Each structure stands twice: as C-alpha cells, then as structure tokens.
Structure 1
Amino acid sequence: MVQAIDLPRNEQGIAAALDILKQTFGDRFQTGASVREQHGHTTTWIKNQMPDAVVFPLETAEVADVVKVCARYGVPIIPFGVGSSLEGHVNAPAGGVCVDMSRMNKVLAVHAEDLDCVVQPGVTREDLNTHLRDQGLFFPIDPGANASLGGMVATRASGTNAVRYGTMKDNVLSLEVVMPDGEVIRTASRAKKSSAGYDLTRLMIGSEGTLGIVTEITLKLQGIPEAMSSARCSFDSVQAACEAVMTTIQYGLPVARMELLDTMSVKAVNAYSGLDLPDTPLLLLEFHGSEAGVAEQAEMFGTIAEESGGSGFEWTTSTEERTKLWQARHDAYWASIQLRPGAKGISTDVCVPISRLAECVRQTQEKIAESGFIAPIIGHVGDGNFHTLLLVDMDNPEEVEKADIFVGWLNDLAISMEGTCTGEHGIGQGKKPYLIRELGKAVDVMASIKAAIDPDNIMNPGKIVPHA
C-alpha cells in the first residue's frame, strides 16, 4: 500500500494564519473534525491527512487573501474541488489550510459566436453542460465523475470523449491563477492560438495545485452534433476487441467515444443496471455528426468488428437507448463494487501506445488471475488508456500488500511498453515513485520549476515531485 508522505509541521505559523483567517472569513472558515476529514481525502487508499482548517472563498480576491496570509506565515495550502481525485491529491501531509472552491461556481460568460466560455473553478462539468444546452453548445470532456472544472484542470482530466475531443490541455484557452505569493496572473488571452512566450496555461494544467490556485477558466466549446449514434459489439476475447479498436483508429473512423468492458465488468453492469448484454468483452462506441454520417460510421465499424470476430453488433440513434447504455458505463464503478460487498475499490490507470494495448490488457488479466483478485477492467481504449479496479479487503494486510505489488507491477508494465503510469488519474502522492521511473531526470526539471515558482513549498506540498 502506498504510504502517505509525512512532512514537518509549522505549528506556530499555522496557529497565526488560522487566527487571521477565522476573523476574516467567519462561518466560511471551518475547523470541525468531520469537515477536515472530508477534505483530507475521499476515494483513495492512502491514509487520510487532514488540513487544520477549511476556507470557502467566493471570489478571486478572497483566494488571494488566503494565499497572502499563508505565504506570510509559511503555511501549506491545499486546493479542493469535489474530492473525486484518486491518488491522494488533497491530503495535507504538513497540515495547513484547505481552500474549498465549491462556492466559486458561476458561469461568468458564454461567447457563443467564439465557441468559448469563462467559468469559476467550482462549476462542475454537468452544471456547465446544463447551462449551455439551450445555446446548442456543450463541453466535451467527460471523466465520468461529476468533477469540478478546476479539479479537471489541475489533474489534466480526460475521459470517454478524449479520442475525438482531446483532454483538458486541448480544451483550455486561458487561466486566471493565484500564485504562491498571492499575486493574480492570467496565462493567455481568448485567442484560439498564440506564440506569445512560454505556454503557462499548459504548465498549470496538470500541476495539481502545486504551482498556484486556478480561479477562472476560459474553455473551448463544441456545437451539439446534429446527430449521435451509439454502437455496441461483443467479442470472444479482449485481444479481439483491442484488434477491432486498432483497426478502427487506423481507418481514421471519427469515433467520439470507444470504451472497453471486460467480462467481469459486463457481468457487474448487467446486474447493477438491469441490462442483458452477453457476458463477454464488450466495446461501446459513439459517433457524432450528421444523420447520414453517424449511420455510415456505425455501419463501417460493424464491418470492422465482424472482421475481428465480433458478434451481436447493434447501433442506435435513439436518445433513450444511448443514454441508458452510457449511464450504465458511467455507473460501472458502483456496479463493480457490488461484486465483492464490503471490499474497497482501488482504482488505478495506465496508458500505452495503441499498438501495445491488447498485449498490456492481456498480461494484466493474466496477472489478476494469478493473484486471485476480483478486478474488472474498463478502458478508454481509443487512446490506449484503461483502468483496473482492485476489490480489496483493507482489513487483510497480506491482501493489501498484494494489491500494492500488483499496482506497482502494472505501472512498470505500462512504462516498459513506452506508456505512462497514469493516463488521467494524475500523480498526487500515490504515483510519485512511478513518475521517476517513467521520466527520470525530467522530474528534476519539474522540481526546479516548482522551487522557482514556490520556493517556500506552500502550494499542495508532498505531491508530484520528490522532496516537495
């Protein structure tokens, strides 16, 4: 099991900062144990490390005020979205102040003619799309959880639509960020491209709160497609399904989503969502475009699937049927938990070049069987990314140790295939050892950037880079 990173506490500084913030924020400053525990972590198996207080700002100026106080006294600051991160991102290893951005949840502007919008970081992706729906626009990045957009920026989130629309790094035009000294910067304009200096926008995307706190986000938007079609097809093996994926990508078929569910995942989804899918590996796809275009794309995939040994191919443009199928996919985590009541689900992800996907998934399944785990696999296979959910009895030390060994093995396997230890979960505390194995001396460059921007190491310390 990944051990939480303990860092020295600045007791005197924390006490002084908390006293000032309490007077400034009143009932939007909380020190109750339950609130602090909730903001320590929620979805990881790493030990909960609570902050000393939680502050709920309403605007950028208030975030800057918090940072200036904490900077004056050398107190750690941990940004918090909705707590859906998976690698200990919001733990407070040296205590400090958690800045909960949930009340900064306004859509500030929608520029429909420019296909962009400006939002505060507490807006969730579902709330944004509800707001945009009447204007014929949508924001395509869909990590599954109803994450906050600030959190999605911080972890460089992606999800089911990434194969067509990219990840957060491809869909953010500009950021407003409170830096570690409390100064507020804007990283870019609303222009769709720029050659103006260093790309600070992309530096902040994926920085997990270690370089600053995002307080405003300018996002690219897409027009809601004229038509959408969803398709599903079963396969005798994951190998055959992955071969169909590779062929689909190589043919240049403009897939919006392409998801793999292994046999165990399909069984879980059938039981949880009341479906009757065949108990074999499954591909789910979605196509966006004109009515004629999505029909043609679905039928082309059907031909590819048949050549790869697929069966039971079906496609539909029915909104009701599509929604039912994709809701079942998004509920797969909760469905999988039911496979072993009382166990904790430990989710880990890796990403490999598409040509190595079938081999990587096959070896992972063999290792799962050898280890005796119940561990369904689901993947955003259009870009080589898949997730394994280990169902672990956390009261059994031997099983926990075995799970830790498995996670390390899987990360090393992906790295050995010229892949990455995380396609979208991020590093946090949980994946720090594997980042060094993956990037080597490049991690030292990251540490140098961190030290230059945040010399006192107050911004989300203990995350991403070593000794920080």
Structure 2
Amino acid sequence: MNAPLPSQLMPKLEPRNAPPELIEALKARFGDRCSVAQAVREQHGRDESPFDVPPPDAVVFAESTEEVAEVVKLANRYAVPVIPFGVGSSLEGHLLAVQGGISIDLSRMNKVLSVNAEDLTVTVQAGVTRTQLNNEIRHTGLFFPIDPGADATIGGMSATRASGTNAVRYGTMRENVLGLTVVTAGGEILRTGTRAKKSSAGYDLTRLFVGSEGTLGVMTEITVRLYPQPEAISAAICSFPTLEGAVRTTIQLIQMGVPIARCELLDTNAVRALNRYDKLTLLEGPMLLMEFHGTPGSVREQAEMVQEIAREHDGQDFEWASTPEERTRLWTARHRALFAALQMKPGCRAVTTDACVPISRLAECLLETAAEADAAGLPYFIVGHVGDGNFHVGYLIDPARPEERELAETLNRQVVSRAIRLEGTCTGEHGIGLHKMDFLLDEAGAGAVALMRSIKQALDPKNIMNPGKIFTWQ
C-alpha cells in the first residue's frame, strides 16, 4: 500500500482564525510587539517538517509569564488557538497554525532567573537556549547536558521531551526537568514540582506537561538539573568495514555497562557528506563518534575497554580528538549532518525518521532499515544516538517529484512498523506533532490515545492550546 503524502496526513480541521476585535485588543495591549506583518507571520508558520500550512493570524512577542497569561485569556475568550514558538527548529509540524490563531513568541523571555549551584539546579525562562544557558553557568563549574543538535530553547526542548547526543549518560528532558511554570488554557498560572530531588506529592504534573507539545499549556519557566563539568573529556572516532560491526560494538558496550557519555553512529553516506561539507578527511565508512567523561584514569579505562570491544568487530584503532577545539569541530560537524546531506542533492528536502528500539533489537532494526533503503534506490543517510537505541534515516527527495516523497513516506512507515514490532517507539525524541499522529495510534493503541484525549479535553475544553497535534480532538 502506498503511504499518504504529507498533505494527505493533515487533519481536516475547520479554521478558527482570530477575529478583528481580538487582533485589535492584542495590538492595543502589546503595541508593536503584536505583529500581523506577512513576513513575521510566515517566519512563525514554518518549521523543518514537510508540511505547507498557512501562517498564524498574528504573532505576539511576550516578555513575561503574566503577558503570556494575558494573551491566552484573550484567545480563550474568542476560542482562538494559541501556538507557543521558540526558535522554530521542530521537525514534525509542532508549531504550525493548522487552524489559524495566535503564535506566542517566547524568544524574548530569555533570562536565567536563578542558579543554585549548591543544589545543582537552575531556573530559566522558556526562551533561553541551551547554548546560552551553558555560557551563563560556565563559571560555576556546572553544565546542562541535553544536546539535541539545534540550539533549541529550553521551553521547546521540554515541550518535545528532547534528548540528543548526551542522553546515553545524562538522560532526556524527562529526567532533567524538576519544575515548571505553566499558563493553562484558561490563562491561569500554575507552578509544578520543586527543586527537591524527589517528591511523592500528588500527581506528577511536571511529567504531564513535559512532552505535551504545547497542547496542555504554555511553559514559561523551567527548573532543570545541572551536572559538574567532567574533570577529563576525550573524544574518539572509530571506523568499521560494515554497519553491522559498528552497531554490534554499540550494543556490547552498553550491555557491559561502560559509562560512555556519547555514542553516535554515522553511516558511509553521512560521513561522505560531512567530508564534503566541512572539509574533513574522515575515512568514508560506517563510524562511531564517541566521548568519554570522568577522571583522567576513568576516561582512559573506558576508552581502552571500548577499543577492545571495537576490535572484536573489526573496528580500527581510535583517532583521538583530545583538545577542546578538535572535539568542538567533530561535534559541530555531527550536528550539521542534515545540512551536509542536503548539499549532496541540491534543491532536495529530507524526510526523516526517529525510531528508537531496545538496545538488544538495534542491529536487527537498523540493518533491515538500511537494506530496505538500498533496495528502494532513494538517496539516504543514517545517523543515530545509538547508545540509546535511537536512530534517524534521512531520505533525500526532490520536492517537485511527488513519487519521491511518496516513496520516502512509505519507507518511513516501514521503519516505524518495524520499530513498534520490536517493542520500540515511533519517536525517540522529535515528538508526534502532525507527522506521526497515525503512528501514535499504532504504537499506543486506541484506548491509550482516548485517555490522552480525555486529559486534553479536561484541561483545554475549548481546544485552543496548539490544536491538531498528537491526536485528533474527536
């Protein structure tokens, strides 16, 4: 069966555009911080997904939790959607105004509110980016490890339950968000969680909002965990003659409990793209890019153990990047893998997967996926946070050729079906958004999705909070 095109995946929703009186009320309150300019609206109506959706009716640049609450109260009065916006780096259509409405831009809410170095916590406004946060706390000897690649905001990362390259050691946003300030659909300001390391006080509302993709409320302040900067850091690359050797090495080192901080896979296509884009000289074959954190002795011990495991799977000796400059260059290149791959087929777009499976099933899932992509003949690349069992395939398509997009969506669905069959998930870190609504139903089942819907309907009875995402209203 042919997979539906992105335009066919769009939920059929009636527009609920902002009436003139709402726009006038917002302009009267926020002045030039409420924009209806076409260019501003279009900027806030696009992300990295393949969907083409009309922009929001207006954009409000909020500067405080109280201002967010004012916007939401006005929108609620007119039953008009509100869509939170960070930096626009989402991949699954999270920020698209599928029914029109008001985009609330949180980028000006970019203050680090309090650093509690003794307790290893920090509280920030939602518009603070991960790079900004780490720059501002560097003097404390602490750092925030969640690293999804894009310089996303902490609010956006919380909304999608992001993770990234460091998750194998430090976890995801789920484990690292301690508390939130949230504006609900009625414009009420809630505070969830505390700075305490644990709590048994009632329902865990923090975890309810983390990963909710803006469908339950607007997160405006976030308290997260920090970690001591490692005494020693070393990065290394290891090339393999086969993709299977790289994957088997990863599985074995995780099963043996090696406390590796980062373990990233790049297939031959990804390495070739990076060489051309970043002018590197990496051996063009399947590769693991790894990083070790700890004391000098523990880092050396970890590296020796991993190198021994790699040799069992025909891995070459490590090439080390021991200076901060060398490490930064390697990880910057890894984060630019998508853009590098796009240059391999000028004018193309990428349809990306985000499967995650139990580590014991990673080889089966990833190798079958690669064989399937080779047989299809569509240009592709594979990268992955394989220490978590999470990998991404980017299928490179010509947007002017519907048959290529259809083939990419077919391959994407086959990857997801395989991951679910192997007791994994359709999304390890990108979220559901618009693109994966059907996949969530396949993964969680109708009963679980109905329960999610009932929570949404109880907290947001007018369905104004980022509607049309994760699941349908009815």
Q: Which residue is equivalent to 2:290? A: 285
Equivalent residues of 2:72, 2:186 under 8 A apart? yes
Q: Does residue 350 of structure 2 align to residue 345 of structure 1?
A: yes
The one-letter amino acid of 2:235's match is: S
Q: Which residue is equivalent to 2:448? A: 442
Equivalent residues of 1:6, 1:93 under 8 A apart? no
Q: Percent identity?
A: 55
Mapped partners of 1:14, 1:228: distance in 2: 55
- Picking from 203, 221, 227, the partner of 1:222 is 227
Equivalent residues of 2:11, 2:472 under 8 A apart? no
- Picking from 258, 281, 286, the partner of 1:253 is 258
SS at match of 1:244: helix
SS at match of 1:187: strand
What is the 5 A alignment of 1:62-461? 62-440=67-445, 441-461=447-467
Equivalent residues of 1:78, 1:459 under 8 A apart? yes
Which region of structure 1 is more displaced relative to structure 2, 304-313 or 280-289? 304-313
Equivalent residues of 2:350, 2:394 under 8 A apart? yes
Give the CA deviation at 1:313: 2.1
Mapped partners of 1:437, 1:345: distance in 2: 24
Give the CA deviation at 1:294: 0.7
The one-letter amino acid of 2:455's match is: I
Equivalent residues of 1:172, 1:220 under 8 A apart? yes
SS at match of 2:428: coil
Q: Which residue is equivalent to 2:32? A: 27
Mapped partners of 1:36, 1:6: distance in 2: 22
Mapped partners of 1:307, 1:363: distance in 2: 22
Give the CA deviation at 1:316: 4.2
Equivalent residues of 1:37, 1:48 under 8 A apart? no
Equivalent residues of 2:278, 2:333 under 8 A apart? yes
SS at match of 2:394: strand
Q: Which residue is equivalent to 2:468? A: 462
1:104-159 Cα distance to aligned partner (Å, 9 max, x none): 00001101111101100000000000001111111000000000110000000000
Equivalent residues of 1:238, 1:358 under 8 A apart? no
Q: What is the TM-score of this pair, normalised by structure 2?
A: 0.97
Which region of structure 1 is more displaced relative to structure 2, 359-368 or 206-215? 359-368
Mapped partners of 1:83, 1:348: distance in 2: 19
> How many residues were matched structurally?
467
Q: Which residue is equivalent to 1:2? A: 6
Equivalent residues of 2:53, 2:98 under 8 A apart? no
Give the CA deviation at 1:465: 1.6
1:324-349 Cα distance to aligned partner (Å, 9 max, x none): 21111112111111111111122221
SS at match of 2:250: helix
Mapped partners of 1:453, 1:264: distance in 2: 46
Which region of structure 1 is more displaced relative to structure 2, 137-146 or 362-371? 362-371
**Which ranges of structure 2 fall in alignment gaps of 5 or more residues?**
none
Q: Does residue 43 of structure 2 align to residue 38 of structure 1?
A: yes
Mapped partners of 1:346, 1:389: distance in 2: 6
1:274-302 Cα distance to aligned partner (Å, 9 max, x none): 22211110001111100111111111111
Mapped partners of 1:326, 1:94: distance in 2: 38
Equivalent residues of 2:159, 2:212 under 8 A apart? yes
